[in-house]
Chains A and B, each alone.
Chain A
Amino acid sequence: MNEDKTKDKGVEKARIVVSVSDINCVVCAKAIQKQVMKINGIKNVEPAIMLNKVFVDYDPKLVDSSTIKKAIDKTGFRSYMTIRENQQSPDKPQN
């Protein structure tokens, strides 16, 4: 579950929601999950097929959102929009 999104053992956790061009099958969703999970600092990756979104929990000290975006793009999907939430890092929203 996604309850403990605040702090866990002093490690910071942030969540980013990435919209992805049509995820039309579970297997593709799994591919995204696998690819993003490879990155150091990623806690959890949950694709939501119906919303065409991927929820990524990560440690903002170790990874930034553009690395995550790149990893998703690498699977052949186009991630075209990012929504930030629960961010503890002070970086500004992209323009």
Chain B
Amino acid sequence: MAKDPICGMYVDEKSAEFKATVRGTTYYFCSHTCMREFLAPEVEIRKLKIAVAVGGILTILIIILTYAAFLPMRINNYVLFVLDTPIQFYFGLRFYHGTYDAIRNRMGNMDSLIALGTSVAWGYSTVVTFFPSLLSYTAVFYDTAAAIVTLILAGRYLEHLSKGRASEAVRKLMNLQPKLAHVLRNDKEIEIPVEQIEVGDVFVVRPGEKVPVDGVVAEGHSSIDQSMITGESIPVEKNVGNEVIGGTINKTGLLKVKATKVGQDTTLSQIVKLVEEAQIGKAPIQKIADRVAAYFVPFVTIVAIASALSWYFIGNIGLQFSLLVFVSVTVIACPCALGVATPAALLVGTSKGAQNGILIKGGDYLEIARKVTAVVFDKTGTLTVGKPSVTDVVPIGKIDSDNIVRLSASVERGSEHPLAEAIEKEASARSLVVVEPSEFEAIPGKGVKAKVQEKTVVLGNRKLIAEMSVNLEIEEKITSLEEEGKTLMFLVLNGALAGVIAAADTLKEHSKETIEELKKMGIDVIMLTGDNERTARSIAGILGIERVFAEVLPQQKEAVIQKLQNEGKIVAMVGDGINDAPALAKADVGIAIGSGTDVAKETGGIVLVKEDLRDVVIAIKLSKATVRKIKQNLFWAFMYNGALIPIAAGALVPFFGAQVYNVFPFLAAGAMAFSSVTVIINSLLLERFKA
């Protein structure tokens, strides 16, 4: 079963009457109408191709005949008329269509300028051809009219192709989702289109297959290549209860997965949506360009008429020259390059980000991200893992450290306290056998007590040993561990202190590297945490962070951001999208880290799919690279339009004489035709950005 890409109906491939292959993929349609609609853009490209080819041949013939002029003048003109008229009105028909639409919408567009310029050239030449006695000139400009139409069409053709290339990144993301899924219904495995999976369905993913939609592993274990969604190159282990993302590839084992998100809600759909919607959140830079573009056509028309009239009446250079100036001005100007300058770079930049698990929600965030002067990190869960783990085990007396861990883990058995989990993890890391305690009893405010293998074991905090005598050496050890910001637990065995276990939140793998990199970029790094000053300082010290805001309540985080902003800093806040949401929203750029499959819910202008802090640096770098591209694009666009208009209007006459303008309309058409293409191709260079 395949899905009709237009109406969404399911079509059986075997009996499908309507199908089309576009760039290697075969699509099936329910009806001729759907197929025609789908193929419209393709048909357009083909039409343009034919127009450029045929128009090109005719234009070359026209140019040869114009300059070689081996036929008598009158006859030559008739031949040129016959050759040019189809170009003007058949291949150039689209420009008249466009002009008609422009008039109806009461807005000048590019088509109207081209239609105006070429019509003047063609019309004038036609008058000369058929009524030579009306004018004292004999030269015709069929070559100019023909060359303009053909060059502009060639430009449009290339623009189509390059635009397609630029939006390919988005399409590539969408194509990650497989078309079919194996779903278990009544214990039988059936094959259905991905669109028909419902939340709660259990589907089977074999090694080598793609996961169809987001879900939770219900049975089996495997490793999954998530690089296409998160950018991480190493496959991730998945066991029962772990989340899997649609579009990722199952590498090793068979998995049974329960669908949790389908259709528009899958991570993949959300990512595509974010990249697309980033196109419409307008970057301030683009608003200026758009405003310029809106007044462009009337402005250019006025310039064209004014310069032609001035040259004719004041400059007295003659009708022919004035005409060429008029045509040059109308044809050279093109707001299109201005219009695509920002969206083209933005699209390539945001797609590049998406491929690396960095989702930028709009052009405005991108533009601020590059200016960031301070990055604020939430400590717990962002710079650190967010869960304590055992760092030190101090045995006291004859007992060894393994036994301390084993006894502690046994006492805490079944407890869900984070510290208990840390000890349990340590025990399994040391492959110790944990036993079931008996006579379990809690000592309020102090700890827990139980019998483990006939021994009375008590595990608790400092208060537990308050009245015990501890020798000086041990006391010093305890104090130094506390100063490192660690949480301590004391094991009392048969009434005497037998050992100390220290636990602390550990740093994430790339925390230090990221902070060093940010500092190198000249960005202030600041830590924000609800933890006590001592713990915060100790972590900050390891990471090389000088400025720390400790003991900040969740609702105060926002105020800290405000304070930094008042200092004149442009602040990026990095945190998890749920607890730090207000602070993320307050910051100039909120960067939500480790969203996993919840990309849509996250607050913040930038969402990092994986929990890798280095992505913060990459996001800032990508934003710099993208904005640099936008600026280059705008420079080119303004060059094409701003600088070339005076030249087209006759500014070169004092330097090179009026003769230059015999060929200038060709150059003008060329410049216009390729202006947007230049800008789009320049944007495509962003694909080489290295994460």
Cβ-defined contact, A27 with B40, below 8 A: no
Inter-chain CA distance A25–B294, complex, in Å, is 11
Chain A positions 38-57 with a Cβ under 8 Å from a chain B Cβ: 46-53, 55
Cβ-defined contact, A81 with B279, below 8 A: no
Q: Which of B336-344, B438-446, B483-491, B551-559 is near enough to bind chain A? A: B336-344
Inter-chain CA distance A49–B276, complex, in Å, is 11
Interface contact tally, CB-CB below 8 A: 118
Q: Which residue of B lies closest to A29 (CB)?
A: B339
Cβ-defined contact, A26 with B293, below 8 A: yes
Which residues on B sit within 8 Å (CB–CB) of A66?
none
Cβ-defined contact, A34 with B40, below 8 A: no
Cβ-defined contact, A34 with B105, below 8 A: yes
Provided the pairs A49-B340, A85-B264 are in contact, do residues A31 and B281 lie with their beta carbons within 8 angstroms? no
Inter-chain CA distance A81–B9, complex, in Å, is 13
Which residues on A sit within 8 Å (CB–CB) of B293?
25-27, 30
Provided the pairs A1-B364, A48-B280, A78-B40 are in contact, do residues A27 and B343 lie with their beta carbons within 8 angstroms? no
Residues of A contacting B: mostly: mixed
Cβ-defined contact, B362 with A30, below 8 A: no
Set B101, B170, B280, B289: member contacting A75, Cβ < 8 A: B101
Contact with A along B23-62 (1 / 0, CB 8 A): 0000000000000011011001000000000000000000
Inter-chain CA distance A44–B406, complex, in Å, is 64
Cβ-defined contact, B296 with A27, below 8 A: yes
Chain B positions 121-166 with a Cβ under 8 Å from a chain A Cβ: 156, 159-160, 163, 166
Which residues on A sit within 8 Å (CB–CB) of B281?
1-2
Q: Which residue of A lies closest to B109 (CB)?
A: A27
Residues of B contacting A: mostly: helix
Cβ-defined contact, A76 with B97, below 8 A: yes
Instruction: Say yes or no for B425: interface residue by CB 8 A criterion.
Output: no
Set B38, B163, B335, B676: member contacting A27, Cβ < 8 A: B335
Cβ-defined contact, B8 with A93, below 8 A: yes
Interface size grouping (class) on chain B: 35 or more
Cβ-defined contact, A81 with B37, below 8 A: yes
Q: Which residue of A lies closest to B335 (CB)?
A: A26
Which residues on A sit within 8 Å (CB–CB) of B221?
none
Cβ-defined contact, A48 with B273, below 8 A: no
Which residues on B sit within 8 Å (CB–CB) of A52?
41, 163, 167
Cβ-defined contact, A51 with B170, below 8 A: yes
Provided the pairs A26-B293, A50-B279 are in contact, do residues A76 and B343 lie with their beta carbons within 8 angstroms? no
Question: Least Cβ distance of B4 to chain A in Å?
Answer: 9
Cβ-defined contact, B105 with A31, below 8 A: yes
Cβ-defined contact, B7 with A95, below 8 A: yes
Inter-chain CA distance A85–B263, complex, in Å, is 11
Inter-chain CA distance A51–B100, complex, in Å, is 24
Cβ-defined contact, B98 with A76, below 8 A: yes
Provided the pairs A25-B336, A31-B101 are in contact, do residues A46 and B156 lie with their beta carbons within 8 angstroms? no
Cβ-defined contact, A25 with B101, below 8 A: no
Which residues on B sit within 8 Å (CB–CB) of A22?
41, 44, 160
Question: Least Cβ distance of A33 to chain B in Å?
Answer: 10
Q: Which residue of B lies closest to A95 (CB)?
A: B7
Question: Least Cβ distance of B642 to chain A in Å?
Answer: 16
Cβ-defined contact, A75 with B105, below 8 A: yes
Cβ-defined contact, A81 with B6, below 8 A: yes
Cβ-defined contact, B339 with A1, below 8 A: no
Question: Least Cβ distance of A65 to chain B in Å?
Answer: 14
Chain B positions 279-305 with a Cβ under 8 Å from a chain A Cβ: 279-282, 289-290, 293-294, 296-297
Cβ-defined contact, A95 with B9, below 8 A: yes
Instruction: Say yes or no for B630: interface residue by CB 8 A criterion.
Output: no
Q: Which residue of B lies closest to A81 (CB)?
A: B6
Cβ-defined contact, A50 with B343, below 8 A: yes
Chain A positions 67-85 with a Cβ under 8 Å from a chain B Cβ: 74-76, 78, 80-81, 85
Q: Which residue of B lies closest to A45 (CB)?
A: B280
Inter-chain CA distance A74–B104, complex, in Å, is 9
Contact with A along B65-106 (1 / 0, CB 8 A): 000000000000000000000000000000001101110110
Q: Which residue of A lies closest to B269 (CB)?
A: A85
Set A27, A47, A51: member contacting B108, Cβ < 8 A: A27
Instruction: Say yes or no for A28: interface residue by CB 8 A criterion.
Output: yes
Inter-chain CA distance A63–B334, complex, in Å, is 35
Inter-chain CA distance A84–B592, complex, in Å, is 27
Question: Least Cβ distance of B105 to chain A in Å?
Answer: 4
Instruction: Say yes or no for B325: interface residue by CB 8 A criterion.
Output: no
Inter-chain CA distance A94–B9, complex, in Å, is 9
Which residues on A sit within 8 Å (CB–CB) of B277?
2, 55
Inter-chain CA distance A28–B294, complex, in Å, is 10
Instruction: Say yes or no for B651: interface residue by CB 8 A criterion.
Output: no
Inter-chain CA distance A50–B297, complex, in Å, is 21
Instruction: Say yes or no for B347: interface residue by CB 8 A criterion.
Output: yes
Which residues on B sit within 8 Å (CB–CB) of A28?
98, 101, 109-110
Cβ-defined contact, B105 with A35, below 8 A: yes
Cβ-defined contact, B101 with A76, below 8 A: yes
Which residues on B sit within 8 Å (CB–CB) of A81?
6, 37-38
Which residues on A sit within 8 Å (CB–CB) of B20?
none
- Most B CB contacts (10 A, CB to CB) among A52, A76, A85 go to A76
Instruction: Say yes or no for B107: interface residue by CB 8 A criterion.
Output: yes
Instruction: Say yes or no for A21: interface residue by CB 8 A criterion.
Output: yes
Which residues on A sit within 8 Å (CB–CB) of B344?
50
Which residues on B sit within 8 Å (CB–CB) of A21?
40-41, 44
Cβ-defined contact, A2 with B105, below 8 A: no
Provided the pairs A1-B281, A76-B98, A93-B8 are in contact, do residues A53 and B276 lie with their beta carbons within 8 angstroms? yes
Cβ-defined contact, B109 with A85, below 8 A: no
Inter-chain CA distance A47–B101, complex, in Å, is 17
Cβ-defined contact, A50 with B100, below 8 A: no
Provided the pairs A26-B336, A34-B107, A55-B277 are in contact, do residues A1 and B362 lie with their beta carbons within 8 angstroms? yes
Which 8 residue pairs across A and B have the least CB separation, nearest first? A26-B339, A76-B101, A46-B280, A48-B279, A31-B105, A26-B293, A27-B109, A80-B37
22 contacts between A and B (CB under 8 A): A1-B281, A2-B280, A21-B40, A24-B676, A26-B293, A26-B294, A26-B338, A27-B293, A27-B297, A28-B98, A31-B101, A31-B107, A31-B109, A34-B107, A35-B105, A46-B282, A49-B340, A50-B163, A50-B346, A76-B104, A78-B40, A94-B7
Given contacts A1-B364, A48-B279, A81-B38, 5 further A-B contacts (CB under 8 A): A21-B44, A24-B159, A29-B339, A35-B105, A52-B163
- Using CB atoms and an 8 Å cutoff, list the residues of chain A in contact with chain B: 1-2, 17, 21-22, 24-31, 34-35, 46-53, 55, 74-76, 78, 80-81, 85, 93-95
- Using CB atoms and an 8 Å cutoff, list the residues of chain B in contact with chain A: 6-9, 37-38, 40-41, 44, 97-98, 100-102, 104-105, 107-110, 156, 159-160, 163, 166-167, 170, 264, 273, 276-277, 279-282, 289-290, 293-294, 296-297, 334-336, 338-340, 343-344, 346-347, 362, 364, 676
